[in-house]
Structure 1
Amino acid sequence: MATAAELTTILTAKQPHLLAAFKHIIAQNHLAHAYLFAGMEGAGQTELAHWIAQRLFCINVVDGEPDGTCEACVRIANGQHPDIVTVAPTGQSIHVDQVRYLKAEFSKSAVEGNRKLFIISDAEKMTASAANSLLKFIEEPSGNVTALLLTTNKQLMLPTIISRTQVIEFPPLGVAELRKTFEAAGIKPQQAQTLLHLTNSVSQAQELLVDDWLPTAVEQLWRWFEQVVKGDPRSFVEVQTNLVGLAKESRQQLVLLDLVAALFQDLLQLHFDVDAADELSFSQYQKSLQKMTDQLTDQQLVQATELALTAKRQLASNVSFQNVLEGLTLKLWPIFKNA
């Protein structure tokens, strides 16, 4: 767990309004017995939960902030405070036996002071039986106990859980903060720039980089793109020989079509906005993209971009991935033949 100072710094950047709100709530002694922190991965749910833990148990609070140096703060940062109980998925799920452990802890008195705090990470991964088992505490809290349920997918939570907690929505991160989050996770700046247009999730971003899938996809797609913009028939062969084999899984197919759309959007953006370089998905090809867009008309760019944006919809209509890309290629040729 991060130190109090680190948590405050992170939250000030990610969710300053929520940090200020919980400072006020705790200062007024208005903390509810159960919250559901919901938002995209990396939006600050974990950091806020840990900040609340340090704030509640800190011995020397200074201006509404945990001092980070007292015995309680140090033990919390090291995950060793006896009155803070955390649960996370074992494998793919949080099982009923883990919730039984929580319920047993609920019934015990605090070891130090008179307060207990429970943090349940990835709460959407509770099995139905585990979630139902948790309901009794949420419905009938006893003592000075607070539960924080953290989720990146509120839609998977039982409605009965949602209705019995105070739901705190974590707004999505801005582009600059999301880029920092990706880079802090070890993702290279150029890859982070592309990923910004594909996902808000650090774990999904990292999955796309396994075995260099994303860099390979970008390289292969760029080869197809250069050919199709020239109306080169080899672009049709490129679909069959490289792109189809590159995206065997449905998730990869969707991402590849997102990348296709992003390429044409980059062209359109450069055509109408000379200052758009920092926002490009394919900024490594900026010079080539600029040269292309200088040779194309507004109408050509708009028509091509509209086709690229509809390709994903076709895939959702049960058209095969290969047919979607081949059809797109054939429709793009006549648009660019006079470029």
Structure 2
Amino acid sequence: MVAAETLSQTLVAKQPRLLTAFKHIIQQKHLAHAYLFTGMEGAGQAELAQWIAQRLFCLHVVDGEPDGTCEECVRIANGSHPDIVTVAPTGKSIHVEQVRYLKAEFSKSAVEGNRKLFIISDAEKMTASAANSLLKFIEEPSGNVTALLLTTNKQLMLPTIISRTQVIEFPPLNAQALQQTFEAAGIPSAQAQMLRGLTNSVTQAQALLADDWLPQAAEALWRWFEQVVAGEARSFVAVQVHLVGLAKETNQQAVMLDLVAALFQDLLQLHFQVDAANELTFGQYQQALTKLTTNLSARQLIEATELALTAKRQLASNISFQNVMEGLTLQLWPIFQINA
């Protein structure tokens, strides 16, 4: 948690339109009972959730802003306010017992006022039973209660949860500003360009660069990619030999699949001559990517990109990373066979 002044400054830089929108919503007393904040890591979901909490409970609101210094704001910043209940994954998941605790809290009156706020971080990590358990509150809200669900991957959320919340999309941060932010943190330009497509968070960006992991992963993926589009059988072997060993952790596997999708999205941008050459995730391979687009049709590229985008959902369905990548490789071969 951060101080209110810094919080507002952060939101003005990251999501000024959403901040303005929620100022108006709260002022007009039109706050809904459940929201799903979705966007990539570091896009401002957590900051806006905290700002809403302080705005709702602050004792001295000034020009629509929490003062950040009153007792209520300080307790919220410290995570110790009794009428704000937060839930986050324990291990890899949010379990049904945690949601049952939330539901028990839903049924209680506010300890100090007439409002309660619930914040669920990494909501996509709810188990199916936990998500289903949460549905009753979302479907039948009682009292002056608001729930904020935060996620970096809406695709992994149950459709029933999505349909019963107001979905707030957090757009990616301005590419140029994010590039400058990463470079100011000491991240080299080429790596910063790649990281822009993966995260808005400096902390997460630095974690991906630890032990030179991201450059190694990008290089291994590029070799696999060249073999796949050439229809080479060794690309299947490359999954186990080169990729699996680099993606031992769940978060590394997810990033790998994000990079796969980004490669094909780069190809689409170049094929359709989108004026975004400086925004390619794999900008260091722009010349080779441009050459590839001359040999590939729009149909091939769109079909391949759709497969790459669905691969991450397969990973969330308890299919192993190796099986996901091997399956993707086999599905991609026929698409590019015409040009092999």
Q: TM-score, normalised by structure 2?
A: 0.69
State the one-letter code of the partner of 1:247.
L
State the one-letter code of the partner of 2:89.
P
Pick closer, same or farther for the CA change 1:109–1:260 going to 2, 3 Å: closer
Equivalence for 1:45: 45
Equivalence for 1:95: 95
Runs of 5+ consecutive residues of structure 2 not aligned to the other structure: 224-231, 248-252, 309-325
State the one-letter code of the partner of 1:94.
I
Q: TM-score, normalised by structure 1?
A: 0.69
Pick closer, same or farther for the CA change 1:169–1:319 going to 2, 3 Å: closer
Deviation at 1:121, TM superposition (A): 0.8
Equivalence for 2:34: 34
Contact 2:36 2:167 in 1 (8 A): yes
Equivalence for 1:215: 215
Equivalence for 2:107: 107
Deviation at 1:91, TM superposition (A): 1.0
Report the secondary structure of 2:24's partner residue.
helix
Contact 1:217 1:256 in 2 (8 A): no
State the one-letter code of the partner of 2:32.
A
**1:1-339 alignment to 2 at 5 Å?**
1-179=1-179, 182=182, 187-196=187-196, 199-200=198-199, 202=201, 205=205, 208-216=208-216, 245-248=241-244, 252=256, 255=259, 303-307=291-295, 313=304
Deviation at 1:140, TM superposition (A): 1.9
Contact 2:175 2:279 in 1 (8 A): no
Q: Distance in 2 between matches of 1:221 and 1:125?
A: 26
Q: Distance in 2 between matches of 1:124 and 1:216?
A: 28
- 1:123-159 C-alpha deviation (Å, 9 max, x unpaired): 1111121112112212222221111111122222222
101-110 or 62-71: bigger deviation: 101-110
RMSD: 4.7
Deviation at 1:169, TM superposition (A): 1.8
- 1:41-66 C-alpha deviation (Å, 9 max, x unpaired): 22211111110001011111000000
Deviation at 1:111, TM superposition (A): 1.6
Runs of 5+ consecutive residues of structure 1 not aligned to the other structure: 225-235, 294-299, 332-339
Number of equivalent positions:
303
25-34 or 37-46: bigger deviation: 37-46
Q: Distance in 1 between matches of 2:261 and 2:70?
A: 52
Q: Distance in 1 between matches of 2:34 and 2:261?
A: 41
Deviation at 1:212, TM superposition (A): 1.2
Larger Rg: 1
Q: Distance in 2 between matches of 1:159 and 1:7?
A: 31
Q: Distance in 1 between matches of 2:42 and 2:33?
A: 24
Pick closer, same or farther for the CA change 1:190–1:144 going to 2, 3 Å: same
Equivalence for 2:319: none
Report the secondary structure of 1:142's partner residue.
coil
Q: Distance in 2 between matches of 1:218 and 1:9?
A: 34
Q: Distance in 2 between matches of 1:308 and 1:206?
A: 35
Equivalence for 1:336: none
